[in-house]
């Protein structure tokens, strides 16, 4: 919140209903379980059930003429700050018009405004803005979510917000780490003590939503964008209505429910093309208690491995497989 308060077909649905599926290993502990937040989010379920897709980002240059790089240099933000405008009913275009006219008087500006229908980026995100105090301004991309009036509008707006955030993380080669590379203005106030705003927490509460549930949606988009270049993955299948499918195959042979009873996530493996040996991945993993479409199986050293994405496999130790 800125100053003055103007400031795959059926499987695509099941992916969101099941949770983000993929997790970033270095965020698994002590972050809240992605699977649990997905179950708690009627809004995220609504997005999935209605096949809501984010809109494209519109880039236009605003009037903010303070060009300064981040602490690490031009084009090197460390994350994204999530704001909300606290201006009921004002659209992204309304806010863009206001801030382009009034930022000198208001002494505030952000990179983008998002509502149910538009994502409007008005300042090059290679450079900082004035939205959350000195430290945050010199380190983060900052986006404002507009207040809307209906459940459908809210769902569409947070889908757009999550997409913008995920795309910026990918643009700057940042990991998705809730509470670190994606933070609320409330987090910023607590971290640096340079502002006293707590958005978007109160606004989210009005809709029964939370930052944890936004993280679930960002995680889903982030992983799919990295894997397939789209927010819902690149493939549809003819079976396994409750399974995540990132295999890249139109036909799958079964589904596996993955779980690690001794850990917070399920490790995934890639087979080294030179040695043929399975290598555990250190950055990504699968969320516990999630179903995955399987396109292929192979046996190595007494274990069966199930292919759950183009090059990623899960071992039978963590898998309950059912063939179609």
Could you report the per-residue pLDDT of 176-215, keeping only the tens digit for each? 999 999 999 999 999 999 999 999 999 999 999 999 999 9
Whole-number mean pLDDT of the chain?
83
Of the candidate ranges 69-83, 122-136, 299-313, the one whose mean pLDDT is the lowest = 299-313
Reported as a single tens digit per residue, the pLDDT across 234-264 is 433 223 344 566 555 556 788 888 999 888 8
Same domain assignment for residues 201 and 278: no
**93, part of any domain:** yes
Residue 129 maps to a domain: yes
Q: Is 276 helix (H, G, I), strand (E, B) or coil?
A: coil
Q: Are residues 277 and 162 in the same domain?
A: no
The stretch 14-35 carries a mean pLDDT of 38
Least confident residue range of 115-119, 155-159, 245-249, 312-316: 245-249
**Which residues, 6+ apart, have CB-to-CB distance to 127 below 8 Å?**
67, 68, 69, 70, 74
Contact between 251 and 238 (Cβ < 8 Å): yes
17 in a domain, yes or no? yes
Tell me, yes or no, whether 218 and 291 share the same domain: no
Residue 258 maps to a domain: yes
Band (25; pLDDT cuts 50, 70, 90): low
Do 74 and 121 have their domain in common?
A: yes
Q: Give the range of the structural domain holding residue 86, as residue numbers without chain letter.
A: 3-21+32-228
Q: Is the residue at 306 inside a domain?
A: yes
Q: Are residues 171 and 266 in the same domain?
A: no
Token representation of residue 100: 């382009």
DSSP3 helix / strand / coil % (the chain, rounded to 5): 30, 25, 45
Whether the per-residue pLDDT at 11 is higher than 80: the answer is no
Give the per-residue pLDDT at 35.
34
Three-state DSSP state, 157: helix
The pLDDT assigned to 246 comes to 59
pLDDT at 109 over 90: yes
Q: Is 259 domain-assigned? A: yes
Evaluated on CA atoms 68, 72, 77, 82, the torsion sign reads: negative
In terms of phi and psi (left: phi > 0; alpha: psi -120 to 50; beta: otherwise), the region of 173 is left
Q: Domain count for the chain, please give it.
A: 2
User: What CATH number does the domain containing 64 carry?
Assistant: 3.40.80.10
Predicted pLDDT at 37? 35
pLDDT band at 233 (very low <50, low <70, confident <90, very high): low
What CATH number is given to the structural domain containing 292? 2.30.30
Residues 73 and 211 in one domain: yes
219 and 270 share one domain: no
């Amino acid at each position: 919140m800125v100053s003055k308060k103007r400031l795959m077909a059926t499987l695509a649905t099941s992916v969101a209903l099941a949770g983000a599926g993929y997790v970033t290993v270095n965020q698994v502990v002590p972050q809240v379980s992605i699977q649990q937040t997905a179950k708690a989010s009627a809004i995220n379920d609504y997005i999935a059930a209605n096949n809501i897709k984010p809109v494209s980002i519109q880039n236009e240059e605003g009037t903010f003429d303070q060009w300064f790089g981040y602490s690490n240099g031009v084009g090197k933000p460390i994350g994204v700050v999530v704001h909300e405008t606290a201006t009921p009913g004002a659209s992204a275009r309304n806010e863009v018009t206001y801030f382009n006219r009034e930022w000198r008087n208001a002494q505030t500006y952000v990179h983008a405004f998002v509502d149910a229908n538009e994502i409007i980026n008005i300042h090059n995100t290679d450079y900082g803005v004035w939205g959350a105090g000195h430290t945050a301004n010199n380190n983060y991309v900052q986006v404002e979510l507009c207040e809307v009036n209906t459940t459908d509008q809210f769902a569409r707006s947070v889908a757009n917000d999550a997409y913008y955030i995920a795309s910026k993380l990918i643009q700057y080669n940042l990991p998705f780490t809730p509470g670190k590379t994606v933070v609320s203005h409330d987090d910023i106030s607590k971290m640096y003590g340079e502002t006293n705003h707590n958005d978007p927490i109160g606004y989210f509460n009005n809709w029964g939503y939370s930052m944890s549930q936004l993280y679930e949606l960002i995680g889903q988009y982030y992983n799919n964008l990295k894997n397939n270049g789209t927010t819902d993955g690149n493939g549809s299948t003819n079976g396994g209505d409750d399974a995540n499918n990132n295999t890249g195959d139109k036909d799958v042979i079964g589904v596996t429910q993955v779980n690690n009873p001794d850990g917070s996530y399920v490790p995934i493996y890639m087979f080294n093309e030179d040695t043929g040996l399975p290598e555990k991945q250190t950055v990504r993993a699968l969320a516990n208690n999630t179903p995955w479409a399987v396109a292929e199986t192979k046996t190595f050293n007494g274990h069966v491995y199930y292919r759950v994405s183009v090059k990623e496999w899960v071992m039978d130790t963590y898998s309950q497989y059912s063939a179609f």
